[in-house]
């Protein structure tokens, strides 16, 4: 049968696509239906036809799926940030496990029995909302020229007003409303992307979950002229009526740092490099604990590491699950205190410092110099002396070490946590040359994970344990930890 654009069809949704869309068949023709849930029978309108499949829009749910739940957020369809909000959380976890399994089979070429024999149950969240410690809200104007903040609609650049995203902390709303009120009362303009004019571009909010400390940073498009204040206080202002805003924000419970970031570039990059603290401290702190992942409820083992976070620092956005993810990586590393461990793609050294407590020596490698400066500072702050950090490409630093033949630094265990594109081919080659006993692979993309595991297995390693950890509930993002061990010496 030939479908055409705007045709309305009834379809039973049988599967979930990689981007969370529902997949069903009508007369043998595959339909991808955004916002439909697996198990639904829906009426869908075709929006784009391809040779063997078509994209369709959900018009009406005829028979709801038993896995369909009511969305918490009224804007979930327009926003697109939460692709899975109408799917029950148990089913979301199942979807992620299946995504990992399918990638390993299809892309990695592993036998289903082999994958099943090594896969452990995914680690979910206790509460899959309000888990993000960081929010970045764009500021703009609505149709009536009123200053608003919210989210970009779909893939556009128009802002839909909403100050309460369910993934963020409750305080976000109070802070955003406070800033909007200050802007409206003092006629402070919002940045306009098209013309590059207007002042306030974005609002960044971060919260240390364990400390309760909150940081607000306003990204502004202009450096104001130096304002000399009469009386005691003197110094530059970065915002008109800065004092009014600061006083409002300082009253909010937990407020620890208020700053501005100057970004005058016409770019999609949110933060500018220059940061000025207007009130309070320059950073907030957060502590993450090692947990015992072998016990029910994953109790703390008592140890905690404290990190300082500035507006520009990289820091995992879901601290609750980060503890579980790192603890799992630590457990998989199987350390006894004697090992030399390399942590490649180490960021600000969070995993490295977790490992350092149980290893002889840890070497961290990361490409961003500022992250390594933070890693060294974090080591110092936590009194960790057996971690050393290098700026550079993982593949080059590890390769150089091998050429140099430094036996002292020979890795017993290598941990990798690469970005979505996975490990560079040269990095995998370098790992196979130095031949650690164990490799722990932390991955945020099952497809590149599967590709890389295949290379490592062909190079003499075997998969021992695989476990998903849900870092991003309500979204399709899938995180996995894998333990591999050397089979050929």
What residues are labeled active site?
A: 444
Other Cβ atoms less than 10 A from the Cβ of 230: the count is: 6
Q: Of the candidates 38, 365, 456, 471, which one interacts with ligand SAH according to CB under 6 A?
A: 365
Residues between 417 and 456 with contacts to ligand SAH, criterion CB under 6 A? 417-419, 424
Q: 252, 178 in Cβ contact below 8 A?
A: yes
Which span sits near ligand SAH by CB under 6 A: 141-149, 158-166, 180-188, 359-367?
359-367
* DSSP characters over 33-70: EET--TT-EEEEEEEEE-SSEEEEEEEEEEE--TTB--
Question: CB within 8 A of 465, min separation 6: which ones?
Answer: 118, 120, 332, 481, 482, 483
Which span sits near ligand SAH by CB under 6 A: 37-45, 186-194, 284-292, 366-374?
366-374
Looking at beta carbons only, is 205 or 365 nearer to ligand SAH?
A: 365
Q: 410, 402 in Cβ contact below 8 A?
A: no
Q: Is 351 in the site for ligand SAH (CB under 6 A)?
A: yes
Q: Is 346 in the site for ligand SAH (CB under 6 A)?
A: yes
Q: Tell me how far, at minimum, the Cβ of 201 lies from ligand SAH, in Å.
A: 24
Nearest partner of 165 among 177, 147, 150, 148, judged by Cα: 150
Q: Of the candidates 213, 366, 470, 479, which one interacts with ligand SAH according to CB under 6 A?
A: 366
Q: Of the candidates 371, 431, 447, 482, which one interacts with ligand SAH according to CB under 6 A?
A: 371
Which span sits near ligand SAH by CB under 6 A: 158-166, 167-175, 244-252, 412-420?
412-420
Q: Tell me how far, at minimum, the Cβ of 89 lies from ligand SAH, in Å.
A: 24
Which strand (E) or helix (H) includes residue 100? Answer: helix 89-106
- Encoded one letter per residue, x for contact with ligand SAH by CB under 6 A and - for no contact, window 454-483 reads ------------------------------
Residue number with the smallest Cβ distance to ligand SAH: 347
Would you call 265 exposed, middle or buried from its count of C-beta atoms within 10 A (0-12, 13-18, 19+)? exposed
Q: 299, 292 in Cβ contact below 8 A?
A: yes
Q: Is 91 in the site for ligand SAH (CB under 6 A)?
A: no
**Binding residues for ligand SAH, per CB under 6 A?**
314, 316, 345-347, 350-351, 365-368, 371, 393-394, 417-419, 424
């Amino acid at each position: 049968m030939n479908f055409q654009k705007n045709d309305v069809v009834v379809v039973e949704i049988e599967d979930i696509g990689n981007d969370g869309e529902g997949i069903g068949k009508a007369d043998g023709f595959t339909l991808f239906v955004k916002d439909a849930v697996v198990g639904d029978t829906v009426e869908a309108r075709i929006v784009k036809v391809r040779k063997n499949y078509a994209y369709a829009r959900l018009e009406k749910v005829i028979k709801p799926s038993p896995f369909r739940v009511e969305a918490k957020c009224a804007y979930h369809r327009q926003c697109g940030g939460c692709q899975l909000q109408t799917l029950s959380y148990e089913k979301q976890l199942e979807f992620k496990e299946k995504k990992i399994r399918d990638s390993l089979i299809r892309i990695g070429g592993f036998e289903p029995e082999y994958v099943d024999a090594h896969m452990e149950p995914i680690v979910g969240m206790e509460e899959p909302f309000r888990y993000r410690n960081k929010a970045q809200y764009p500021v703009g104007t609505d149709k009536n020229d009123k200053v608003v903040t919210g989210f970009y609609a779909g893939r556009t650049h128009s802002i839909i007003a909403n100050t309460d995203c369910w993934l963020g902390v409750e305080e976000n709303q109070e802070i955003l409303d406070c800033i909007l009120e200050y802007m409206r009362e003092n006629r402070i303009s919002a940045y306009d992307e098209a013309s590059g004019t207007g002042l306030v571009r974005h609002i960044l909010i971060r919260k240390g979950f364990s400390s309760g400390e909150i940081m607000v940073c306003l990204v502004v498009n202009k450096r104001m002229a130096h304002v000399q204040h009469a009386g005691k206080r003197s110094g530059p202002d970065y915002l008109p009526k800065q004092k009014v805003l600061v006083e409002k924000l300082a009253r909010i419970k937990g407020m620890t740092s208020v700053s501005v970031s100057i970004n005058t570039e016409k770019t999609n990059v949110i933060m500018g490099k220059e940061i000025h603290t207007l009130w309070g401290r320059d950073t907030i702190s957060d502590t993450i604990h090692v947990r015992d992942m072998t016990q029910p409820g994953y109790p703390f083992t008592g140890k905690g590491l404290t990190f300082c976070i500035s507006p520009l620092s990289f820091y995992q956005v879901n601290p609750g699950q980060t503890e579980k993810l790192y603890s799992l990586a630590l457990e998989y590393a199987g350390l006894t205190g004697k090992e030399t461990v390399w942590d490649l793609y180490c960021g600000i050294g969070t995993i490295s410092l977790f490992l350092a407590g149980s290893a002889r020596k840890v070497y961290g490698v990361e490409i961003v110099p500022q992250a390594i400066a933070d890693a060294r500072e974090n080591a110092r702050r936590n009194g960790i002396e057996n971690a050393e950090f290098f700026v550079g490409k993982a593949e080059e630093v590890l390769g150089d070490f091998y050429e140099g033949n430094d036996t002292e630094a020979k890795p017993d265990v290598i941990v990798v946590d690469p970005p979505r594109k996975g490990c560079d081919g040269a990095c995998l080659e370098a790992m196979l040359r130095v031949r650690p006993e164990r490799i722990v692979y932390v991955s945020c993309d099952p497809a590149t994970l599967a590709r890389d595991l295949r290379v490592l297995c062909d190079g003499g390693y075997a998969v021992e344990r695989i476990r998903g950890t849900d870092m991003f509930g309500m979204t399709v993002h899938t995180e996995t930890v894998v333990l591999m061990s050397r089979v050929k010496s």
